[in-house]
Amino acid sequence: MLPVTRTQPPFAITRASHVTLAVTDLPASRDFYRDVIGLVVTDESADAVHLRGLEEAVHHSLTLQKAESPRAEQVGFRVETDDDIDRAEHWLAAAGLPHRRVEVPFQGSTLQFVDAVGAHIELTSRMDVVERRMQDFHTYRAGAPQRLDHFQVVTHDVQAATDFYAGLGMRLSEYTAADGTDELWGSWLEVKGNTHDLVFTNGRGPRLHHFAYTVPDATSLIHAADVAGSLGFGDEIDRGPGRHGISNALFLYLRDPDQHRIELFTTHYQFIDLEAPPIRWDVSNPRRSQVWGMPASRRWFFEASEFPEQPVREPLLAATPATLEDYLGLH
């Protein structure tokens, strides 16, 4: 039996689409995302830098905002039309969730809300259209990231988070559960037809663990690591390269100058047909996290970006020391 029921609300989220980060040194962060990661700068001002992946026709998928302290400001999703924004607004009001309409440069109708576990979510229906750059091969840098793909959020209550997004039409593709139970430790939720747009894992939250861009292949991933090394950011790789059992991603995680985390990964598998059941992994199975690869660093496990004004809560499911050591691969 699946631990989650999916329903379609009167509006449709179509994909994970953009993220807004508060950063303390705007030029340093811009240089990092442009030169070490390889994103394209679409627009730049004294207060903000907008970037996108090489294939993206949207104005931005990453917004850096100058601030006093680093924060994950908004995790962004797309809906199809302005009408979806209107219907989402009504639905949020009925659900009693904090929300507001906002004007965001280069975006169409935009709505922000706080979800069931405290993450800051932004929905928009449109962005300014810019040129896709994936055929400007001579401008490729580093990992040549093509598009923003998904988010991972640490939460104190994975079940509540999963139920909330299943209620927004998201579908569970894979999940981790305590051995012999359906106690959810992690959930991989999707809406765009592959394994995830949004992931929740158990821990102190809400915090944004990472946002992820696709890269074309394993060679691009290694080249991204090489470029990080040659530009002096080799130590900012806090996990990988390795292969996740869940979703089959070949991954590399890097920390930006404010220690926000970005994942570069090759793509996951298609997940469209309804008869395919979600894949269950025991949380004690180390292959769920890596089929091979060196253990993740402690900072990969314990560090993440907080949202503004959202208190961080201890997880409902407490890791025993034994489990934790296993989780870290430190036996």
> What part of residues 134-153 is at the interface with its own copies (CB under 8 A)?
134-138, 140-142, 146-147
Tell me how far the alpha carbon of residue 100 is from its chain's centroid. Answer: 22
Interface stretch with its own copies, choices 13-21, 98-106, 154-162, 177-185 (CB under 8 A): 13-21
**Distance in angstroms (rounded) separating the CA atoms of residues 9 and 311:** 28
Residue 99 main-chain phi, psi, to 5 deg: -155, 160
* DSSP characters over 59-112: S-SEEEEE-SS-EEEEEEEEESSHHHHHHHHHHHHHHT--EEEE--TTBSSEEE
Among positions 10, 234, 308, 325, the unique one binding its own copies when judged by CB under 8 A: 234
Q: How far is the CB of 240 from its own copies (least distance, A)?
A: 8
| Nearest by Cα to 271 from 282, 279, 263 | 279
Shortest Cβ 32–its own copies spacing (Å): 12
List the x/- string, 73-92, binding to its own copies by CB under 8 A.
-----x-xx-----------
From 40-48, 159-167, 174-182, 265-273, give the range in contact with its own copies by CB under 8 A. Answer: 265-273
CB atoms within 10 A of CB 91: 17
H/E stretch holding 14 reads strand 13-23
Q: From its phi and psi, is residue 322 left (phi > 0), alpha (psi between -120 and 50) or beta?
A: alpha
CB 212 within 8 A of CB 261: no
Q: Does 239 engage in binding with its own copies (CB under 8 A)?
A: yes
Q: Name the segment binding its own copies (CB under 8 A); options: 18-26, 155-163, 237-245, 318-326.
A: 237-245
Residue 293 as a binder of its own copies (CB under 8 A): the answer is yes
51 phi and psi angles, rounded to 5 deg: -130, 165
Task: State the binding string over 97-136 for its own copies (x if CB under 8 A, else -).
Answer: -----------x-----------------xx-x--x-xxx
Residues lying near its own copies in the complex (CB under 8 A): 14-15, 17, 35, 55, 57-58, 78, 80-81, 108, 126-127, 129, 132, 134-138, 140-142, 146-147, 192-193, 216-219, 222-223, 225-231, 234-235, 237, 239-241, 243, 245, 248, 250, 266-267, 269-270, 272-277, 287, 290-295, 297
